[in-house]
Amino acid sequence: MATPESIQRLVEKFEAGKARYAQPDYNEAQLRQEFVNPFFAALGWDVGDSQQVLHEAGLKSGGSTKHPDYSFLAGRQRAFYVETKKPAIDISQQIEPAGQLRSYGWSGNTAVGILTNFAEFAVYDCRIPPEQGDPAAAARVWHLTSAQYPASWTRLQATLSPLAVGQGKHKDLLAELGKGVLPVDAAFLRDMENWRAALAEQLYKQARFIDRELSQRELNQLVQRTIDRLVFLRIAEDRNLEPYGALERAARQKHVYAKLKNLYRAADKKYNSGLFHFDQADDSRGEPDKLSMDIYIPDNVLGKIIFALYPPQSRYEFSVISADILGQVYERFLGKVIEVRSEKHETRVAVEEKPEVRKAGGVYYTPEYIVDYIVENTLGKLLDGATPEQAAKLRVLDPACGSGSFLTGAYQYLLDWHIAYYRRHPAQFRNRRRETAEGILLTTTEKRRILLNNIHGVDLDQSAVEVTKLSLLLKMLENENDSTGLRDMQLPILPDLGGNIKWGNSLVGSDFYDGADVGGLADEELQRVKAFDWDGADGFADIMAAGGFDAVIGNPPYVRQETLGAAFKAYAKKTYDTYAGTADLYTYFIERGVNLLREGGAFSIIVANKWLRARYGKPLRAWLKKQAIREIIDFGDLPVFQQATTYPCILTIGRDGAGDSFAAAQVDTLEFASLREHVESLRYAVDRTMLDDGGWSLAREEVQVLLRKLKNAGVPLLDYVNKGIHFGIKTGLNAAFVINEDIKDRLIEEHPSSAKVIKPFLAGRDIKRYAEPVVERYVILIPSGWTEYNMGISSDPWRFVQETYPAVARHLEQFRAKAEKRWDKGDYWWELRPCAYYDEFEKPKIMLPDISLRGNFTFDEKNPYVANTAYIIPVDDKYLLGILNSKLITFIYSSISSTYRGGYLRFIYQYLARLPIRVIDFDNPADVAMHDEMVGLVERMLGLHKGYADLTDVQRSVVDAQIARVDRAIDALVYRLYGLSEDVVGIVEGG
């Protein structure tokens, strides 16, 4: 694009007055006003709009508070920082400005940072934190002089304009050098985990000062509170809320903890947040923390932690580490717990992953774009057209708040909404905002009012409750320091959030104890109970009496049903309409969350999408059909949670009348600038009346109509084959029972009787479409009941096996210990589990693997057995084989089942059984003709695949072309069999 005239004039003005601007008395504030602001305005930024640009330099008090001069925003996230220096400072050579910028960028988790004195413009890769002695050019990826601005304007516009930044184009400026460096959240988590381990060990040892052992819960609380308080006070220092270096000065003296307790008491009076609560006289904030005042922590332990929070040891700039970043750190931090164990007459302390986290495969921190979408989709719609008086009445809840990511997101949305409202209505509510040269900021009192009015949460983990409070308080203190008038405010500054964020089990009410054998419960299960009475004094009685919450949002914990415990399942069975014995925990969070809404409210959470099709989801689907579903966004196998494939979806439900349809979108990529805009481009309507109780397909209406037609055009496969769909066999110990050809040959050579119990064996990966399977493995098959049936009067079963099959017995003996531990063995350890259909494997049959990209069926007459990664259909029916391998059946299957990472389909019994198979009317000549045509095509296809592996490349290319032609003919015949029009065939062919 052409360089704007404003930039040409700006550069000419600077060049003409360069000598004047280089004088020491020309300061940064003048530079920003005369040159930097117009420069970014020319790029398209509204530098006076705090929704786009934060002028953090305006928050400094006498230059003592560390803040970058500007934060440029993409949505509510800081995209990059800009630090300015006056032209008298040579930023290309001086180390400190570049190091400071990189510290801001790394600590604030912004990859890009810009340093400028307008004479020069330098872009840095801030993924790389500064090291002592780094030259100014270290991690610098682009450098311009003012004279080069016009010629470089196209690239500047393409990477640093608001539109480009919204699309993430600013990161295109970065080189590869920053990849692989530990980001701030991972570094801070590592440090916090080290502090936890050191504190846990020492606090347990020092418990002698209170003449008793600390319980595991007390130990976890003490460690958590110690870390939380130190982090809070250190952040307060960098934001100029506390005198800088107070913690460090305490750490340089003797009796460090005594000095810290004095700081804690002062903070209690000043903040009143519950984080510091030691006064027995003030019980309005709950039980005071007397234990923290009685315990002792050695100087060396505290010193290591505190010194790690200050430079030169620390690279953290706490002025820019946001509540969101800390939330990510704490979410993972809370995934572990301190355990006290007694081993061999010795008690030791260890930090272990929580059982539910271990079984779930880790902690899944919700990405910010998901939080933003859910908040905007619920709270945003409730605020549409509202006034601040109406906004004050909204009540937002996260019933499993964790570290508070959804609640801090909702709180930030409310803060932004109020600022935008006050900008549009400048004459109203003047006492609720601060007018600054850079824009409107909310008063501390206003931020406090919004927090107490609107934000509510519950969590079963008491540590999570405290972390959520801390996250919200830090969010409230963002952009605050003494220059904002905070210190002139009447103390205490912060609200007590004890009435907003509460400890308890959202899913269990006080009626849990009615008739429950509490005495018979293990401690772990009792901890899961922690009944929470929503209507009671310790719950949210006023909100529930007024009808409930306006918005319920969140990401319920990923807890598998196996860990829920018998007592909870018994309670869930009598309490929840959505109960299923194998349902995961999120099922009940959906029902509870919707029932907590007031009329007109909105519920939205991100959960696994398994409920759409899983058997245990049937009661949930039946219940949801009666609810006002607004939207389901399915992410399929996309890695929304980077640590694992969780197949998530966003489910949004209103508390109002259910319509005939709801919106759906199947997200196909995570490479988007805005999830909202991407979903809008994909959104379509789903007719709820067409949803099948056996499993929901989020298909477009024309696909739903087609699926219904196809269902009516045939009979379920299970009925067609007279219930003959069988799992492959499970040995429970493949190392013992599955052998290769060399071992098979040796065992038979040692004793020919071995051949009677050695059968050809295929795994799922050995089964290929239409291909003759190649057997490379064998299974030792002594079925359950064989020994008792055959041994006659022998009183020693194992001796009988040794005498009957001596070579096989010698082979199995080496695996005896492991084989005996199998839960799924037969009557004896050498027998396989009971199976009523072993004989079916030795008949002609159709076989298929359980994982494949499409229908992958073949025919077998050689009688191999198959593993549990495959299925058999014991029929000699080549007509059926052709239908099953058709595009139409793959289309149907992918519509009724889930797609896994890489586009793979998981072929499982419940979906296979439902496949509609067109039945031939053998009294109808046209049907008979199509049947015979199909059999001929399938036999042709089987013939083409015989010996394929032995062909040359040239021969294969010829055969491949023939296979493709026959495949197309089979597909065309299937379309005729099912009576599909050309338009409908287009839907199938398009996937």
Question: Is 60's pLDDT higher than 50?
Answer: no
The confidence band for 255, taking pLDDT boundaries of 50, 70 and 90, is very high
pLDDT at 218 over 80: yes
pLDDT at 407 (0 to 100) = 96
DSSP symbol at 919:
P
Question: In the predicted model, is pLDDT for residue 479 greater than 80?
Answer: no
User: Residue 967: pLDDT band by 50, 70, 90 thresholds?
Assistant: very high
**205 pLDDT more than 50:** yes
Residue 592 — very low, low, confident or very high, per pLDDT cuts 50/70/90?
very high
Please tell me the predicted confidence (pLDDT) of residue 61. Answer: 37
| CB-count burial class (<10 Å; 0-12, 13-18, 19+) for 763 | middle
Nearest-angstrom CA–CA distance, 636 and 655 = 27
- Regarding beta strands 70-74 and 77-84, do their DSSP bridges make them parallel or antiparallel, or are they unpaired? antiparallel
- Please tell me the least confidently modeled range out of 593-607, 712-726, 900-914, 937-951: 900-914
- Residues of the chain with pLDDT > 90: what percent? 58
φ/ψ (deg, to 5) at 859: -115, 140
405 neighbors 449 (Cβ within 8 angstroms): no
- Please say if the pLDDT value at position 348 is more than 90: no
CB 373 within 8 A of CB 675: yes
**Three-state SS for 125?**
strand
* Interacting residues of 342 by C-beta distance below 8 A, sequence separation 6+: none
Q: Is 601 left (phi over 0), alpha (psi -120 to 50) or beta?
A: beta
Coil, strand or helix: which one is 603?
A: strand
For residue 302, what are its two tokens?
Answer: 């505290």
Q: CA-CA distance, 559 to 961, in Å (whole number)?
A: 50
747 in Cβ contact with 811 (< 8 Å): yes
Indicate the pLDDT class of residue 481, thresholds 50, 70 and 90.
Answer: low
Least confident of 194-198, 285-289, 857-861, 918-922: 285-289
- pLDDT value at 346 more than 80: no
- What gap in Å lies between CA 696 and CA 612, rounded to an integer? 5
Three-state secondary structure of 492-510: CCCCCCCCCEEECECCCCH
Q: Are 653 and 633 in contact (CB under 8 A)?
A: no
Round to whole Å and give the CA distance between 515 and 522: 17
Closest CA relative to residue 563, chosen from 528, 605, 516: 528
The stretch 99-103 carries a mean pLDDT of 92
| Alpha carbon distance 545, 538 (integer Å) | 14
Structure-block tokens of residue 295: 């315990």
Tokens of 326: 């800390």
How far is CA 662 from each of CA 619, 632, 689, 701, 764, rounded to the nearest angstrom? 19, 8, 11, 11, 39
pLDDT tens per residue across span 107-154 = 998 999 999 999 999 999 999 888 877 898 898 999 999 999 999 999
Lowest mean pLDDT among 48-52, 209-213, 338-342, 343-347: 343-347
CB atoms < 10 A from the CB of 809, how many? 19
User: 5-19, 228-242, 907-921, 960-974: lowest mean pLDDT where?
Assistant: 228-242
Mean pLDDT confidence for 230-234: 92
Q: β-pairing, 738-740 with 777-780?
A: antiparallel
Give tens-digit pLDDT for 361-385: 666 778 889 999 999 999 999 999 9
Asked whether the beta carbons of 394 and 383 are under 8 A apart, the reply is: yes
Helix (H) or strand (E) holding 344: none
Cα–Cα distance measured from residue 983 to residue 991, given in angstroms and rounded to the nearest whole number: 13
**Is 110 in contact with 126 (CB distance < 8 Å)?**
yes
Q: How far apart are CA 265 and CA 177, in angstroms?
A: 46
Q: Which helix (H) or strand (E) holds 604?
A: strand 597-608
* Residues whose CB is less than 8 angstroms from the CB of residue 36 and which lie 6 or more positions away in sequence, other chains included: 70, 82, 84, 116, 118
- Give the mean pLDDT of 580-589: 91
What local confidence, expressed as pLDDT, does residue 63 receive? Answer: 36
Is the Cβ–Cβ distance between 446 and 432 less than 8 Å?
yes
Nearest in space to 57 (alpha carbons), one of 44, 67, 46: 67
Contact 444, 487 (CB under 8 A): no
Q: What is the pLDDT of residue 488?
A: 47
Host H or E run for residue 284: none
pLDDT the model gives residue 520: 53
Asked if residue 270 has pLDDT above 90, the reply is no
Angle at which helices 216-238 and 462-477 cross, to 10°: 10
Contact 625, 612 (CB under 8 A): no
Q: Residue 91 has what pLDDT?
A: 92
Output the average pLDDT for the chain.
88
Contact indicator for 323, 478 with CB cutoff of 8 Å: yes
Q: At what angle do helices 184-205 and 323-333 cross, to 10 degrees?
A: 50
Could you count the other beta carbons within 10 Å of the beta carbon of residue 396?
27
pLDDT at 347: 73
Q: In the prediction, which pLDDT does 58 show?
A: 43
Interatomic CA distance for residues 834 and 831, integer angstroms: 9
Phi-psi region of 595 (alpha: psi -120 to 50; beta: other; left: phi over 0): alpha
Could you identify the residue written with the tokens 């036999």? 939
Q: What average pLDDT score do residues 277-284 get?
A: 62
Q: What backbone torsions phi and psi does residue 655 show, to the nearest 5 degrees?
A: -100, 70
Could you tell me if 84 and 117 are in contact, meaning their C-beta atoms sit under 8 angstroms apart? yes
The DSSP string of 6-58 is: HHHHHHHHHHHTHHHHTSTTS-HHHHIIIIIHHHHHHTT--TT-TTTEE-GGG
**Which range (15-24, 514-523, 590-599, 774-783) has the least confidence?**
514-523
User: 20 vs 86, 397, 555, 930, CA distance in Å?
Assistant: 11, 57, 57, 92
Single pTM value for the model: 0.81
Between 56 and 911, whose confidence is greater? 911
CA distance linking residue 745 with residue 305, whole number of Å? 66
Return the higher-pLDDT residue of 344 and 221: 221
- The mean per-residue pLDDT over the stretch 846-853 comes to 94
User: Strand, coil or helix: what is 398?
Assistant: strand
Can you name the residues that pair with 82 across neighbouring β-strands?
Answer: 70, 114
**In the prediction, which pLDDT does 27 show?**
92
| Helical residues (DSSP H) of 644-796, grouped into ranges | 675-682, 701-712, 717-720, 734-737, 741-750, 786-790
